[in-house]
Amino acid sequence: MKDHTMKTRENVITIQNLSKSFGKLNVLKNINLELKKGENLGLLGKSGTGKSVLIKCIVKLINPDEGNIEALGKNVLDVSLGELSVLRRKIGFLFQSAALYDSMTVKENLEFPLVRMEKKLKKDEIASRVNEALKNVGLEKSLMKMPSELSGGMKKRIGLARTLILKPEIVLYDEPTTGLDPVTSAEISDLIVEVQEKYDTSAIIITHDMHCVQRTTNRIAMLNEGEVYKEGNYEEFSKSTDPVIRSFFQ
């Protein structure tokens, strides 16, 4: 993906001096990171370096020990429960497993966040939003299927459709291509780019898949031992001789 300059765009997320420990384990150590409007930021790092903890702190699923997080102009750690609920509607979270409800059809899975979060919508408006979401991920014919009838790639697509149905300004992707074959991984990566271009979303993409990183990101931040180790674009990372960075290209 081309490295479009984002320097003139405002921050939609600003993380300052963020730290989080679990007992004696220091998972995040003084993290400083920014996400620009319309930017896809790839978040790299070995397992256990705090990537998932970091994005869960952004939506306050985990409370950090120290530091500050500002998202869409709000101080995440200071907002009321009501304000947090509104903020979470604007920040979509695509879980690694897609997290679909097994007992619900695709239609019911997509209706669920709308019924819960946008209570004023009429039935025909809900149906329209569901159809639009499925069209965006190329699965219009899967409306009445159960999750057990879907392939891994289809589950990821439906998970993304459910994330997008509330029209978030920011999307947090947790390993969007894990467990998928190369062709399906490429399709999901292309879909992430289409979402960015169509809706001008900003995104943080946690992944070990360097093909996904190359296709989807404008910029990369690498975590190592709980700290921001390096920031740059894909080309800069791919040319690096640093053994920590090179390990991701093997």
- How does residue 117 score in pLDDT terms, banded at 50, 70 and 90? confident
pLDDT at 60: 93
Tokens 């966040």 found at: 113
Mean pLDDT of the 202-231 span: 93
Distances (CA, A) of 118 to 95, 125, 126, 223: 21, 11, 9, 36
Please indicate whether residue 18 or residue 199 has the higher confidence score (pLDDT).
18
Mean pLDDT of the 64-75 span: 95
Domains of the chain by start residue, with CATH: 11-90+168-249 (3.40.50.300), 105-162 (no CATH)
Range of weakest confidence among 114-118, 122-126, 243-247: 114-118
Report pLDDT digits (tens) over 20-40.
999 999 999 999 999 999 999
pLDDT at 100: 83
Q: pTM of the predicted model, to two decimals?
A: 0.88
Q: How are beta strands 219-224 and 40-44 bridged, if at all?
A: parallel
Report pLDDT digits (tens) over 73-114.
999 999 999 999 889 889 988 877 667 888 999 999 999 888
Buried b (16+ CB within 10 A) or exposed e, 34-53: bbbbbbbbbbbbeeebbbbb
Tokens 């699923």 found at: 61
Report pLDDT digits (tens) over 146-188.
989 988 888 888 988 888 888 899 999 988 888 888 898 898 8
79 DSSP assignment = -
Q: Which residues on neighbouring strands pair with residue 43, listed in sequence order? A: 206, 221
